[in-house]
Amino acid sequence: MNKIAILCSGGDVSGMNPAIKRFVEYSFNQGLEPYFVYGGYEGLIDNIIKKAVYSDVTGIIHRGGTKIYSARSTRFTEKKYRQIAADNLNALGIDKLIILGGDGSLRGIDIFFQEHNIAFCGIPSTIDNDINGTQYCLGVDTALNVIKMATDNIRDTASSFKRAFVIEVMGRDCGYLALVSALTSGAEMCLIPEIAYDLDSLKKRYLKEVEQGRNYFIAIIAEGLGNTKEISSWFETEIGFESRVTTLGHIQRGGNPTVRERLMAYQFTTYAIDALLSGKRNTVICYNNANFDFKYINEINEKTYEIDKDLLALGKSLLQK
């Protein structure tokens, strides 16, 4: 029986457990013997690789995080440890891998493939949504819903006081989460690395809005800017509003996977297994314009992700109106 393994690498996301469940069930359906690699690339190196059975995935579809754990592996950046990982897979007769992870994880598996020719298919999995070649990464919808709920709750208390609430969201150097959250929550301010802003211009606009009756502000700031506290102070000194900072942090990475997340996990994983069975050896399953497509790993890694121009235009109008 052909053997296939799955691992999670880098930051966990809601959607990994539904993907793991589908992996086991669809592997058996296709006559494959599924294996779990526990702890990402670290597990490959330490040989924590175990055969999976149906009972392993019972009752996990609604859980955030990952049952098989994840890790950020510095050892995997060294050739000698990648050789150990390959030896462990070869000893078990595993010649197919599915990788759930972000851009760093995909760069790692690219090098591993070039050295050892072990077939893989990557599933983009990061709430940052910053992987080139795909408009959607697993985990994004759940993270956006966590931010939405938090922002809605903050707006309830903001409207009870003359205050500015500055909410910092994750995303590393990518402003996707902040931008979409701001647009869909009706925030008055959205600051992200991809859009230039002018605080003097915003000050004039906001003071005019206050004269017309605005009595609170919701500002959503991308963590990559590193200026959340400065913006909070700016609201107090320049706009005259008492200000509070809320850093959502790691609650954005957890939570019950949304319906869309579960369906995307199901589809991503099905296409990934089908790709390996059809002979594809070094691809990533991507989602663009409501369709799934495959890209070779070098296409993914050759450039950095850029937010859709139409979304950026909406963000600019939020700052410039």
165: helix, strand or coil: strand
CA dihedral 260, 265, 268, 270 (to 10 degrees): -120
Q: Which whole-number Å values give the CA distances from 96 to 86, 121, 214, 282, in the listed order? A: 11, 8, 58, 10
Task: Give me the catalytic one of 128, 130, 173, 274.
Answer: 128
User: Based on the domain organization, do 131 and 277 belong to the same domain?
Assistant: yes
User: Based on the domain organization, do 106 and 117 belong to the same domain?
Assistant: yes
Say if residues 169 and 140 touch (Cβ distance below 8 Å). Answer: no
Q: According to the model, what pLDDT value does residue 49 have?
A: 98
User: Based on the domain organization, do 266 and 239 belong to the same domain?
Assistant: no
Q: Domain range spanning residue 20?
A: 3-139+257-303
Which among 253, 272, 294 is the end of a domain? 253
User: Based on the domain organization, do 25 and 81 belong to the same domain?
Assistant: yes
User: Based on the domain organization, do 108 and 145 belong to the same domain?
Assistant: no
Exposed e or buried b for every residue in 214-224, given b needs 16+ CB within 10 A? eebbbbbbbbb
Q: According to the model, what pLDDT value does residue 321 have?
A: 58
Which among 253, 268, 283 is the end of a domain? 253
Give the 3-state DSSP-derived string for 294-318, with helices as H, strands as E and coil as C: EEEHHHHHCCCCCCCHHHHHHHHHH
User: Based on the domain organization, do 40 and 19 belong to the same domain?
Assistant: yes
Across the strands, what pairs with 253?
none
Say if residues 166 and 178 touch (Cβ distance below 8 Å). Answer: no
Q: According to the model, what pLDDT value does residue 317 have?
A: 84
Tokens 């859980």 -> residue: 63
User: Based on the domain organization, do 192 and 238 belong to the same domain?
Assistant: yes
Is residue 184 assigned to a domain?
yes
Query: What span, in angstroms and rounded, lies between the C-alpha atoms of 311 and 273?
Result: 32
User: Based on the domain organization, do 239 and 184 belong to the same domain?
Assistant: yes
User: Based on the domain organization, do 283 and 218 belong to the same domain?
Assistant: no
Q: According to the model, what pLDDT value does residue 319 have?
A: 79
Is residue 311 assigned to a domain?
no
Which among 214, 237, 253 is the end of a domain? 253
- Phi and psi (nearest 5°) for 18? -60, -40
Q: Which amino acid is at 289?
A: N
Q: According to the model, what pLDDT value does residue 254 have?
A: 95
Where residue 279 sits, what CATH number does that domain have?
Answer: 3.40.50.450
Reading the block at residue 38, the tokens are 């526990």
Long-range contacts, stretch 182-187, CB < 8 angstroms, 24+ apart: 182/220, 182/315, 182/318, 183/311, 183/314, 183/315, 183/318, 184/144, 184/148, 185/147, 185/148, 185/151, 185/152, 185/155, 185/218, 185/220, 186/155, 186/218, 187/151, 187/218, 187/219, 187/220, 187/318
List per-residue pLDDT tens for the chain, 321 residues long. 799 999 999 999 999 999 999 999 999 999 999 999 999 999 999 999 999 999 999 999 999 999 999 999 999 999 999 999 999 999 999 999 999 999 999 999 999 999 999 999 999 999 999 999 999 999 999 999 999 999 999 999 998 988 999 999 999 999 999 999 999 999 999 999 999 999 999 999 999 999 999 999 999 999 999 999 999 999 999 999 999 999 999 999 999 999 999 999 999 999 999 999 999 999 999 999 999 999 999 999 999 999 999 999 999 988 775
Is residue 231 assigned to a domain?
yes
User: Based on the domain organization, do 12 and 134 belong to the same domain?
Assistant: yes
Walk across the sheet containing 217-222 and list its strands: 189-191, 217-222, 163-169, 242-247
Is residue 163 assigned to a domain?
yes
Across the strands, what pairs with 37?
49
Q: Supply the angle between the helices 79-92 and 103-116 in degrees, to the nearest 10.
A: 70
Give how many domains the chain has, as a whole number: 2
Is residue 317 assigned to a domain?
no
Is residue 71 assigned to a domain?
yes
Tokens 């799955």 -> residue: 6
Is residue 319 assigned to a domain?
no
Reply yes or no on whether 128 is catalytic: yes
Where residue 207 sits, what CATH number does that domain have?
Answer: 3.40.50.460
Is residue 211 assigned to a domain?
yes
Q: Which amino acid is at 195?
A: I
User: Based on the domain organization, do 188 and 80 belong to the same domain?
Assistant: no
User: Based on the domain organization, do 94 and 10 belong to the same domain?
Assistant: yes
304 contacts: CB under 8 Å, gap ≥ 6: 130, 132
